[in-house]
Amino acid sequence: MTTREEIVALDKALVWHPYTPMRKYIDEVDPVVVERAEGIYLHDKNGARLIDGNGSWWVSVLGHGHPRLVAALTRQAAAFAHTSLAGATHEPAVRLAEALLPRCGPSYTRVFYSDDGSTAVEVAVRMAVQYWRLRGRPRRNRLVSLSGAFHGETLGAASVSDAGVFHDALGPLLFDCIRLPAPALAGRWYDRAFAQTEEILRQRADEVAAVIVEPLVQGAAGMLMHPPEYLARLGALCRELDVLLVADEVFVGYGRTGSFLASHQAAIEPDIVCLAKGFSGGMLPMAATVTTDRVFSEFLGGPERTLWYGHSFTGNPLGAAVALEVLKVLDDERLIEGLPPKCEALRRGLDRVSGHPWVHDARRTGLIGAFTLAHPESGSANANYLDDAGWRFHAEARKRGALLRPLGNVIYFVLPLNVAAPQIDELFAIVQESLEAAFG
Ligand SMILES: Cc1ncc(COP(=O)(O)O)c(C=O)c1O
């Protein structure tokens, strides 16, 4: 059997890690070496048990190893693992569409499958721009997004993002977007942010294909939260100006904010919805871009009306079978209905640590919680990706049994919907001790 040391040595010699300064990683980091995982726990090969406090980059919506997802995957693998979705189809793809669309809302009639959050957004961007060409309005080709937005890593998804250090190296490869002030960045004065948004959109609607937004929580920007009212007003404005609205629900969808889609809390139906991460229960890369007849019907016609897009694994049967099972588990275990006591435990935990002098701006939307670390005398608690306070905290939390990879100085909690309230209390006992160990 390969030892832990051998795995780490091979890893450091051969593997290039995502979003990782590799010199420091190779010289200094002792990575977690996961041997198995169940529920909210990851087990390191060295015997340590760690709470997966960030849900493995926000994908683990039903925890690790849910037996029904494992069974769905195994059943489908025994039948067939893959076929292209061009000129062929299969039951998992159609049953998933049938179950998914009504859950998103009555206006949704079509789903385009892809591989991950970035491709779900890439599809949305292309759909929106081509939609206006097909309607004979090619000048409507600009995308509009929020300051601090993160929508993924394909060049289209990176262009609509505003992720500073992540995308600086891409320079001229990215296309220009119109930026709106982020509602939570403007000192929570989402009214003021909305007033500026309205001014920009009213002036420029004629050149805009779509506005893209992360509803309720801008994740990678530092878990910046805005109220449903902002979203409702943005939705109404887009309708009035005849601008498409794209909801990037890659992170916030699937119950995380307390409703199946975050957009549901604002009672809006965006024209295009992007889903990934929790969509396939964190088991397989699989994503969907969902839209309405208004958009889809423009694409009915010959080659010039075709969405020339796809990937080898588009509509992968394994991913589709698991994604369908995720929807059934959400229903059968009444997970979204059962969220309130868990959200309450998260609120309790955040209240408990809020008294620590380094903890600022403890915040929560549904089952997503966060706080910002800042020196008690610094006077400012802005999210800062290059601040190392989060990493000091991370090291202490890992020693105590929780894996909490920070976003710079922002510590956040993304737990599966089937977490038990006492497990949240267990996590916050670790958070409290880690804060004291790291900052006194
Ligand atoms: C809101 C949002 N959109 C898109 C993406 C990209 O998803 P993926 O990493 O699966 O490509 C992310 C990833 O964190 C995200 O948070």
For the chain, give every domain's residue range.
32-62+336-439, 67-332
Residue 38: strand pairing partners: 41
Pair of tokens at residue 272: 């295009």
CA of 286 to the centre of ligand 1 (A): 12
pLDDT exceeding 90 applies to what percent of the chain?
Answer: 92
Nearest CA to ligand 1 atom 9: 117
Q: Among 165-169, 249-253, 424-428, which is the least confidently predicted range?
A: 165-169
Q: Mind listing the pLDDT tens digit for each residue in 89-136?
A: 999 999 999 999 999 999 999 999 999 999 999 999 999 999 999 999
Q: What is the pLDDT, as a whole number, of residue 186?
A: 53
Q: Span 364-384, mean pLDDT?
A: 88
Q: Three-state SS for 381?
A: coil
pTM of the full structure: 0.97
Q: What is the pLDDT, as a whole number, of residue 386?
A: 76
pLDDT exceeding 70 applies to what percent of the chain?
Answer: 99
Nearest CA to ligand 1 atom 7: 117
CATH class, 67-332 region: alpha beta
> 317-332 vs 91-104: helix axis angle to the nearest 10?
40
CA of 220 to the centre of ligand 1 (A): 9
Q: Is 249 in the pocket of ligand 1 (CB under 6 A)?
A: no
Is 67-332 the same fold as 32-62+336-439? no
Cβ-based burial of 152 (10 A; exposed 0-12, middle 13-18, buried ≥19):
buried
Q: Span 36-41, mean pLDDT?
A: 98
Q: Is residue 81 pLDDT above 60, yes or no? A: yes
Q: What is the pLDDT, as a whole number, of residue 307?
A: 98
pLDDT band at 339 (very low <50, low <70, confident <90, very high): very high
Tokens 């390191």 identify what position?
A: 44
| Pair 226, 261: CB distance under 8 Å | no
Q: Among 185-189, 311-315, 410-414, which is the least confidently predicted range?
A: 185-189
Q: Is residue 384 pLDDT above 90, yes or no? A: no
CA of 156 to the centre of ligand 1 (A): 13
Answer positive or negative: Cα dihedral of 9, 14, 18, 22: positive
Tokens 């990706």 identify what position?
A: 385
Q: Three-state SS for 435?
A: helix
Q: Is residue 53 pLDDT above 80, yes or no? A: yes
Cα distance between residue 290 and residue 114, in whole Å: 11
By most ligand atoms within 8 Å of CB, the mutation choice from 251, 311, 410 for ligand 1 is 251
Atom of ligand 1 nearest to the CA of 287: 10
| Pair 423, 430: CB distance under 8 Å | no
CA of 277 to the centre of ligand 1 (A): 8
Q: What is the pLDDT, as a whole number, of residue 188?
A: 57
What are the strands, taking DSSP E only, across 98-204?
A: 108-114, 142-146, 178-180
Cβ-based burial of 41 (10 A; exposed 0-12, middle 13-18, buried ≥19):
middle
Atom of ligand 1 nearest to the CA of 277: 10
Q: What is the pLDDT, as a whole number, of residue 385?
A: 74
Q: What is the pLDDT, as a whole number, of residue 379?
A: 64
pLDDT band at 184 (very low <50, low <70, confident <90, very high): confident
Tokens 């320079």 identify what position?
A: 171
Q: Is residue 52 pLDDT above 60, yes or no? A: yes
Q: What is the pLDDT, as a whole number, of residue 427?
A: 98
Q: Is 118 in the pocket of ligand 1 (CB under 6 A)?
A: yes
Q: What is the pLDDT, as a whole number, of residue 165?
A: 84
Q: Is 117 in the pocket of ligand 1 (CB under 6 A)?
A: yes
The topology (CATH level 3) of 32-62+336-439 is Aspartate Aminotransferase, domain 1 (3.90.1150)
By most ligand atoms within 8 Å of CB, the mutation choice from 146, 150, 160, 412 for ligand 1 is 150
Q: Mind listing the pLDDT tens digit for each residue in 258-272?
A: 999 999 999 999 999
Cα distance between residue 312 and residue 30, in whole Å: 35
Q: Is residue 256 pLDDT above 80, yes or no? A: yes
